[in-house]
Amino acid sequence: MSVRLAEPPLTPDAPEAHDWLSNELTKPEYAAATPNLFDRLVTEFLGWLGRLFSGSIDGPGDWVPVLLLLLLAAAVVAAILIWGRPRLNRARASTTQALFGDRDTRSAAEIRAAAARAAAAGNYDLAVLEGYRALCRDLDERTIIVLDPGSTAHQAAGAASRVFPAFGDVLARTANDFDAVRYLSVPATAQQWERIRSTDESLRAQRPVLADMVPEVR
């Protein structure tokens, strides 16, 4: 038994078909199924990885990410060799901690400037104290050593000597100068100030040995 259609089959013309299709594709279920930018990027990246490990990279465009990764790795290695490894687990900035028993939030540059002013005024006691603080704060800021609130002058010198072995003797002498002025009230001399100043200047121009290790001050 055949069924007669109440209306003839729909045969839209081209503009109507276009409108119907556009309206259909605007429904939420179609929009949700369309890959977004992140999906396309992930797909491209996975495809590139597949070509890389299968050895099927043949176009110059496929080598651009490889070259960028190599350049990035070289830059990271160079930064570590020049400035030392950053301590990601440091809970505070070095300029917010105590320095050899005193609360001191100054930067190395600020302490260094105070030392120079004291020396210019002939106050070598203060110049020696500030000069040694500047030296150690600078190494701490560069993450070459790590100063804790309870660190002593000799502990800082010992930590610095492990990454600057050629300066071991002079670092020990500058720590002695600091302790003598600070704790024994021994008058400082221009020679002691000059030793600390020149050591600080030299260390700033040096690259630490074993820069991938940051000695703890013990």
Examine the fold and report which residue of 19, 48, 83 is the final residue of a domain before the chain moves on.
Answer: 83
Residues 107 and 74 in one domain: no
**CA dist., res. 120 & res. 14, Å (int):** 92
With respect to residue 99, please indicate whether it lies within any of the assigned structural domains.
yes
Local confidence band at 88 (pLDDT 50, 70, 90 cut-offs)? very low
- For CA atoms 63, 64, 65, 66, give the dihedral sign: positive
Residue 85's contacts (CB-CB under 8 Å, 6 or more residues apart) are 143, 211, 212, 213, 214
**CA dist., res. 30 & res. 10, Å (int):** 24
Local confidence band at 119 (pLDDT 50, 70, 90 cut-offs)? very high
pLDDT score, position 91 = 41
Q: Give the residue, 135 or 87, on which the prediction is more confident.
A: 135
Share of the chain above pLDDT 70, in %: 58
For residue 80, report the phi and psi dihedrals to the nearest 5 degrees.
-65, -40
Residues 100 and 174 in one domain: yes
With respect to residue 209, please indicate whether it lies within any of the assigned structural domains.
no
**Which range of residues forms the domain containing residue 34?**
28-83
Residues 62 and 121 in one domain: no
Residues 65 and 101 in one domain: no
With respect to residue 66, please indicate whether it lies within any of the assigned structural domains.
yes
**CA dist., res. 23 & res. 65, Å (int):** 41
**CA dist., res. 193 & res. 134, Å (int):** 12
With respect to residue 79, please indicate whether it lies within any of the assigned structural domains.
yes
Q: Is the pLDDT of residue 123 over 60?
A: yes
The terminus-to-terminus CA distance of the chain in angstroms comes to: 100
With respect to residue 2, please indicate whether it lies within any of the assigned structural domains.
no
Query: Which residue in 143, 149, 156 sits closest to 211, CA to CA?
Result: 143
Number of domains the chain is built from: 2
Tens-place pLDDT, residues 182-215: 999 999 999 999 999 999 999 999 888 764 444 5
With respect to residue 113, please indicate whether it lies within any of the assigned structural domains.
yes
**CA dist., res. 196 & res. 189, Å (int):** 11
Residues 116 and 189 in one domain: yes
Which residues face 90 on adjacent strands?
none
14 CA to centre of own chain: 61
With respect to residue 129, please indicate whether it lies within any of the assigned structural domains.
yes
Local confidence band at 114 (pLDDT 50, 70, 90 cut-offs)? very high
With respect to residue 142, please indicate whether it lies within any of the assigned structural domains.
yes
Residues 153 and 174 in one domain: yes
Which residues face 99 on adjacent strands?
102
Residues 98 and 200 in one domain: yes
